[in-house]
Structure formats: structure tokens, C-alpha cells
Amino acid sequence: MKSNGASPSIALPLLALSAYFSLAASDPRITEAGLYCDNSTVVDGSIIPNYIAVLREIPKSVTDQHWGNYSLTSPPPAVYGLAQCHGDLIDNDCLLCYARSRNRLPACPNFGRLYLDGCFLRVDGYDFYNETVDPMHDVLNCSSNSAVPADQKERMAEFSDRVDQVLRNVLASAVLNKGFAVAGKDGAGGVAGVYALAQCWSTLDAGSCRVCLENATSKARSCTPREEARAMNAGCFLRYSTTKFYSVPVGRGSSTIRVTIAIALSATAATLLVLIGAYIGYKEYSKKKQVQSSLMRLPMTISKSGLYFKYETLEKATNFFNESRKLGQGGAGSVYKGILPNGKVVAIKRLVFNTRQWVDDFFNEVNLINRIQHKNLIRLLGCSIEGPESLLVYEYLPNRSLDLVLSVNNATRILTWEERLHIITGTAEGLAYLHGGCGMKIIHRDIKASNILLDENLMAKIADFGLARCIAPDQSHLSTGIAGTLFGSITSRII
């Protein structure tokens, strides 16, 4: 065989392998693309139990199949939930994206729909699982930048054609491919390339998926010559962009790559070439793998500060969140005593939505607590976001909280006046630090005896920043009111 004939047979398996191994690149795409809150429903606490149960149930199937729906109709009011990752996300990114949306959606006082760039989460009061378009609430977001200067009519037309083509392709293959597809066309002749992703929610059948995507494509098309558009419908998500934003899909939903490999491999008779290809592919893979594992320690500051814990480690540390390990129930979740593999004892907070004052934003909380450190503030040791729920790991304090010390009847330990003063001063120092000493102004908003923890020397440590809010330096007060219960009880109790 001449060299001309041999090169495609090398190139083919190499191409296929490098395509396969580039899958390892990781990005959970948690950028917020759209949030719609349904404020029309009456705000009251009655949806909370079902809401929590639905959000708790969904991740079980998100872990297995990258999407899930769950609903509870009794006792009323009914709550319906749906979560879906886009088909190109790898398992871990899907969980990260879900974790992000689960912590973000409760920004809505009641029901809502949240579109992140990598996943979707909706909780609503009716069965919306077969809904395709919703003229009132579907959103189209065109970017502000144009891909082509306005005076170049010809290139503009060419760009629109290219968008049109790619959108048509992505629609057709998504309908055939269980509701998900990506498509791309490289640029040429000075006109930018176009990449697109289409995702229908898996509760739709192929016909409804087509209806939804046809509507979304014609809307997205109207954005040209803008360089990017996102059409966010009740039943699907469609995005095109001049930059490649998706990963090459893997596993479920797309078998095309494996098929490519199979064909490529059987097409080439030379086992040697395959071995060379595999070797190069493996090199590539290990490089990518390193990148991936560093990306998995998301997000930003968590990876830098080594705050990251594996979910399984924490699960084992608490004996699978055994009741006997439970230390207490805080505003933002229950706290368990955990013993890490190295023997270190820690307190692990399991975040759930069980109060009206939702944990606004897990990521912000971690960033916030990690940046402020003071002897009178409880120290955050780390967190886990990959598992079915978000966990925070704090230092463990053996004397537990002040309310327990104060209110135990026949207490073996009655605090002396010196000890009380020591606790008050420590609490005040911690608060002073929060209120400005740390370079930010942080209002705790829920100071009470159960949030003052005591170490072995009765040093006060303020806990539970779940409700804390940063305020801008020019704001002198908070307008959102007092969040806590029993506010002020510390002063009355301690003295």
C-alpha cells in the first residue's frame, strides 16, 4: 500500500480515539441562563414539606440517568419537580450542576424554573411534564454582540445561513436521539463557525420534543447576526454560539462515538497502527484526566483551599447520617458528628430546605465562610457538593451550644460569672469582626444561644452562617428585616 493510501487508515483510528478521549474534559456549566419565578401563587408555608421531599427525591435518578421527575399530590398542595442535565455533561458535572440549581431555585418564593447552561430545574404546582411551549413564560436571550459588522450584508447573510443549517441539523438529530444533540460547523471565508446544542426534557415524547425544538429554533434564528442565542422553552433548551461551548457527548444518549470507533477499528487491518493510536490516545487521555480531576475539585476557591471532601468519606464518617450521630438541627440543616478516616472529629452539616429562609446560595456561603477567620467564629473545614446533597464540614466543639449549657435542668455545670463574661466578650468580638473587622460587613441575622458554640475552654464561637448576608459597604442597614427566631435571647439567657 502506498503512503497515500495508508494515511487515512492511521488518521481514522487516531481521530476516533482522540475524539473519545477528549470526553474527559469537564465543565458543569453552572452559569445562569434564565430564571422565572411564578409569584402568582399565594405565598404560604404549606408547600414546603412537599417541596423538600421532591427536591430530595429527584437527585436519586439524576445520579443514575442524568434526569429525574418526582411529584407529590397528597397531602395537598401538589408539587411537581423535574431536573435534567444536558446530554453532554459527565456524571460529576451533572451532579454539580444539579447541586447548583437546587441551591439557587429556592430564590423563588414559590414555584420556579431555572435554566443553567448545563441543566434545568423546575418545581411547579401542576403536571407540566408534557408541556412543550408556554407563550407567557418562555424566554429568548440573544447576546448583544454581533458576529458580523452591520455593514457587511453578504457575510451577514452567510452567517445566518450557517446558523440556519446548524440549527436544522441539531433539531433533526435531537429528535432522533432521545432528545439531545450537539452540532457544529467550522467557520470559513471570514465568517465565524457555529455550534449548537438542543435538549428536550426526557418526559416529552419525540413528537412533543420536535414541536418544542421547532419553536425554539425559529426563535433562536431570529437572533442572527448575534453571536449567541438561548431559547428556553417549557419543554426544551436550545443554544447556538460562535464559540464551542459543549463537550463531546459520552455514554447514554449517544452511541455515535462508540460506533465510529468500532467502524474505524474494523476498517483498519493493521493492529500495530491501532496500538500506536491507542498509545497516543492514552497519553492524551492521561493529560486530560489530570485536567479533569483538578476541575472536579470545583468550585473556584474550594479547589484552591483544599476544602474539598468526597461525599462517600463524609457519609462513612457519620455512619450514613445515623440518628445517633445527630448533634442538632439548625436553621439550614441538621448537623452530625463525624469521624474522618484520620481520626479527626468534625461536625457535618447537611443542607436542606426546611425553612422559609432558604440557604440562598451554597457557593456563596462557602466563599464567605472561607474568607473570614476569627477565633470567635466557627471554622469551616470543607464541603462536598458532588453527592446527592450539599454538605459542610466544620470544626467539632465538645461543649456544644450555649443553650444546652444554660438550659439543662440540674446541670452538672453551672457557669460562673467570669465564664459568662468570657462568653459574652467572645461573642461580641466575633460579631465585631463580622460587622467590619473582616473587611466586609456581614450581618448574621440569627444570633441566639443555640448558635453560640463553646470549645473546651468555654471560648465562644459563632455558628450558622446559613442566614448571613453580606451588605455593600455603603449600606448602613439591612432592609430585609430580622430573620432569626428568638432574637435577643442570648442577652436575656446569658445574664
Ligand X SMILES: *[C@@H]1O[C@H](CO)[C@@H](O)[C@H](O)[C@H]1NC(C)=O
Binding site for ligand X (CB under 6 A): 37, 39, 69-71, 108-109, 127, 129-130, 133, 135, 141, 203, 215, 218-219
Do residues 495 and 420 make contact, with C-beta atoms less than 8 angstroms apart?
A: yes
Do residues 117 and 245 make contact, with C-beta atoms less than 8 angstroms apart?
A: yes
Phi and psi angles of residue 196, each rounded to the nearest 5 degrees, phi first: -145, 155
Distance CA 126, CA 215 (A): 23
Residue 69 C-beta: closest distance to ligand X, Å:
4
**Residue number with CB closer to ligand X (111 or 363):** 111
Residue 370 C-beta: closest distance to ligand X, Å:
26
CB atoms within 10 A of CB 292: 18
Residue 298 C-beta: closest distance to ligand X, Å:
20
Active site residue 360: no
Helix/strand/coil (H/E/C) assignment for every residue in 101-148: HHHHHHHCCCEEEEEECCEEEEEECCCCCCCCCCCCCCEEEECCCECC
Collapsed DSSP state (helix, strand, coil) of residue 319: coil
**Residue number with CB closer to ligand X (219 or 325):** 219
Residue 33 C-beta: closest distance to ligand X, Å:
6
Going by the DSSP 8-state scheme, the letter that residue 377 receives in this structure is: B
148 in the Ramachandran plot: left (φ > 0), alpha (ψ -120 to 50) or beta? Answer: beta
**Residue number with CB closer to ligand X (39 or 46):** 39
Which residues have C-beta within 8 Å of that of residue 479, sequence separation ≥ 6?
Answer: none
Beta-ladder partners of 19: none
Nearest residue (beta carbon) to ligand X: 203
Residue 122 C-beta: closest distance to ligand X, Å:
12
Residue 417 C-beta: closest distance to ligand X, Å:
46
User: b vs e for 328-357, b when ≥16 Cβ sit within 10 Å of the residue's Cβ?
Assistant: bebbbbbbbbbebeeeeebbbbbbbbbbeb
Residue 472 C-beta: closest distance to ligand X, Å:
18
Collapsed DSSP state (helix, strand, coil) of residue 321: coil
**Residue number with CB closer to ligand X (127 or 186):** 127
Distance CA 139, CA 424 (A): 52
Choose among 441, 452, 475: nearest CA to 406: 452
Question: Which three three-digit cell numbers place residue 141?
Answer: 436571550
- Say which of 446, 455, 464, 474 is annotated catalytic: 446
**Residue number with CB closer to ligand X (171 or 369):** 171
Do residues 355 and 290 make contact, with C-beta atoms less than 8 angstroms apart?
A: no
Q: Kindly report the CA angle at 134 between 118 and 174, in degrees rounded to 5?
A: 45
Q: How far is CA 205 from the centre of its chain?
A: 27
Q: CA torsion, points 113, 115, 120, 124, in degrees to nearest 10?
A: 0
Residue 296 C-beta: closest distance to ligand X, Å:
25
Distance CA 229, CA 140 (A): 7
User: Cell 446548524 identifies what position?
Assistant: 166
Distance CA 438, CA 227 (A): 42
Residue 28 C-beta: closest distance to ligand X, Å:
16
Beta-ladder partners of 79: 72
**Residue number with CB closer to ligand X (20 or 353):** 353
**Residue number with CB closer to ligand X (74 or 266):** 74
Do residues 427 and 342 make contact, with C-beta atoms less than 8 angstroms apart?
A: no
Q: Give the residue numbers annotated as catalytic, written as ranges.
A: 446
